[in-house]
């Protein structure tokens, strides 16, 4: 069904994560009949990462449940998938990539979907400590999961989404959990103070010791190299059986940089996911893309962004280019609390809370700029989230009073 034609119409994808896997499926859907090779360094077929800090870590999902598509699909779709294979370099002049075993794969189009790696905490001895973990891959969960036993003392460094989700799962598994955040509040870079305060309250209610404004200064080690305690700036030492570091992601831009492509906190692409080289595209967490009306550039770390960029690049390569204009959205699950966010709150000048963050577990926060709804965080209300998406999509001008008024359904404000 699919042709083994010349290398000039071969599409090579580096990175078999969310973006890479969604891209190859979208490329076939868009009508590309030529050869496609998907190269991924991890040994598994492409899988979803969000459950790594949720259902998979808690034991409620299996590795098979995480597959983005049935492994047989790749063969059925004529996609040459190379798992456990690292691309070591790109030669843009010769239009080929080089694999770790020296094989050269020629391409007509190249798609970089390399994602990123957890930011490391620079501390002597930490990289060798067997009980200090980072969370990005199935292998990371396999390494840390045996330490998640009832009564174990977990210290989470970093109060971002990954750290907080792991804290929630760990409480469910019976661990004692402390979360350390250097900034004055958790989720400080992504949400309003009221939303941070809500999460701090929920975690405290669930028995997590959340410490904000708390800098880690060092670690104590056992003779076997394991961390035994985390040392804080205020002189305190927290005993630890297991440490999870969740302090962000460093985009994997090495191949792009070494091949002379522009990188600026991510591989620089336009609204079609093209780099400055018309044969090379980049998609997903590794990209820095134009921000539309917000101006500037942005790098997003989310499944919806990876999927949208995959579709955008596939359409462009298949000859039906359409710019990436989708409104970003994201979700996070902690305990019984589902957060759904939409839009970009950057530059907002007003935050309106619908409901209350001080009691209960359902509310919405709207981010307004010049009276327009730009973004929303909606907690435990799929109906309000559906309406919030429309309000953000329409750049609706809604008064703060109307947004706050619980007697007025949000959909009436559209």
Please choose, out of 236-244, 273-281, 326-334, 353-361, the segment that lies near ligand FAD by the rule CB under 6 A.
326-334
**Which positions from 160 through 219 interact with ligand FAD, judged by CB under 6 A?**
162
For 58, phi then psi, to 5°, come to -80, -10
Which of 237, 111, 211, 91 minimizes the C-alpha distance to 158? 211
Residue 3 or residue 89: which is nearer to ligand FAD going by CB? 89
Convert residues 263-302 into a mask of x (bound to ligand FAD by CB under 6 A) and - (unbound).
---------------------xxx--------------xx
First to last CA, the chain: 47
Q: How far apart are CA 282 and CA 112, in angstroms?
A: 4
**Total residues at the site for ligand FAD (CB under 6 A)?**
36
User: Under the criterion CB under 6 A, does residue 317 sit at the interface with ligand FAD?
Assistant: no
Q: How far apart are CA 378 and CA 383, in angstroms?
A: 9
Please choose, out of 34-42, 146-154, 217-225, 383-391, the segment that lies near ligand FAD by the rule CB under 6 A.
34-42
Is 171 within 8 Å of 76 (Cβ atoms)? no
Q: How far apart are CA 152 and CA 226, in angstroms?
A: 14
List 13, 18, 105, 345, residue binding ligand FAD (CB under 6 A): 18
Please choose, out of 49-57, 268-276, 311-319, 366-374, the segment that lies near ligand FAD by the rule CB under 6 A.
49-57
User: Under the criterion CB under 6 A, does residue 158 sit at the interface with ligand FAD?
Assistant: no
Count CB-CB contacts under 10 A for residue 207: 11
Q: How far is CA 287 from CA 33, 199, 274, 384, in A?
A: 26, 29, 10, 31
Is 113 within 8 Å of 313 (Cβ atoms)? no
Kindly give the pairing relationship between strand 329-334 and strand 337-343: antiparallel
Residue 161 or residue 366: which is nearer to ligand FAD going by CB? 161
User: Under the criterion CB under 6 A, does residue 303 sit at the interface with ligand FAD?
Assistant: yes
Residue 26 or residue 135: which is nearer to ligand FAD going by CB? 135
Residue 368 or residue 392: which is nearer to ligand FAD going by CB? 392
Which of 200, 299, 198 minimizes the C-alpha distance to 251? 299
Residue 300 or residue 398: which is nearer to ligand FAD going by CB? 300
Q: Which positions lie near ligand FAD, rule CB under 6 A?
A: 14-20, 39-42, 49-50, 52-53, 86-87, 113-115, 135-136, 162, 252, 255, 284-286, 301-304, 306, 330-332
């Amino acid at each position: 069904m699919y042709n083994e034609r010349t290398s000039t119409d071969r599409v090579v994808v580096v990175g078999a994560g969310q973006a890479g896997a969604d891209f190859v499926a979208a490329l076939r859907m868009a009508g590309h009949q030529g050869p496609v090779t998907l190269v991924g360094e991890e040994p598994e077929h492409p899988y979803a990462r969000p459950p790594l800090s949720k259902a998979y870590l808690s034991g409620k999902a299996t590795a098979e449940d995480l597959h983005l598509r049935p492994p047989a699909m790749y063969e059925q779709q004529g996609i040459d998938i190379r798992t456990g294979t690292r691309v070591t370099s790109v030669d843009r002049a010769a239009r080929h990539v080089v694999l770790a075993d020296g094989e050269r794969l020629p391409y007509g189009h190249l798609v970089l979907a390399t994602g990123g790696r957890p930011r490391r905490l620079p501390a002597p001895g930490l990289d060798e400590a067997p009980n200090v973990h980072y969370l990005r891959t199935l292998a990371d969960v396999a390494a840390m999961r045996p330490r998640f036993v009832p009564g174990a003392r977990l210290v989470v460094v970093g109060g971002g989404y990954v750290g907080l989700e792991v804290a929630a799962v760990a409480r469910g598994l019976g661990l004692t959990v402390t979360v350390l955040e250097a900034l004055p509040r958790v989720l400080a870079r992504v949400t309003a103070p009221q939303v941070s305060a809500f999460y701090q309250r929920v975690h405290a209610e669930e028995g997590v010791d959340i410490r904000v404004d708390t800098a880690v200064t060092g670690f104590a080690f056992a003779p076997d190299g394991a961390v035994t305690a985390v040392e804080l700036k205020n002189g305190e030492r927290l005993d630890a059986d297991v440490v999870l570091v969740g302090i962000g992601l460093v985009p994997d831009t090495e191949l792009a940089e070494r091949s002379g492509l522009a990188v600026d906190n991510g591989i620089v692409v336009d609204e079609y996911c093209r780099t400055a080289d018309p044969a090379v595209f980049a998609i997903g967490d590794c990209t820095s893309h134009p921000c539309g009306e917000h101006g500037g550039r942005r790098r997003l770390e989310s499944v919806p962004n990876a999927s949208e960029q995959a579709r955008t690049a596939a359409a462009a390569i298949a000859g039906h280019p359409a710019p990436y204009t989708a409104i970003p959205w994201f979700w996070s699950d902690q305990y019984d609390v589902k957060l759904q966010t939409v839009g970009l709150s950057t530059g907002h000048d007003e935050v309106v809370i619908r409901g209350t963050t001080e009691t209960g577990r359902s509310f919405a926060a709207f981010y307004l700029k010049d009276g327009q709804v730009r973004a929303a965080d909606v907690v435990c209300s799929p109906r309000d989230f559906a309406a919030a998406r429309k309000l953000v999509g329409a750049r609706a001008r809604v008064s703060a009073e109307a947004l706050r008024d619980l007697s007025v359904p949000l959909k009436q404000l559209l």
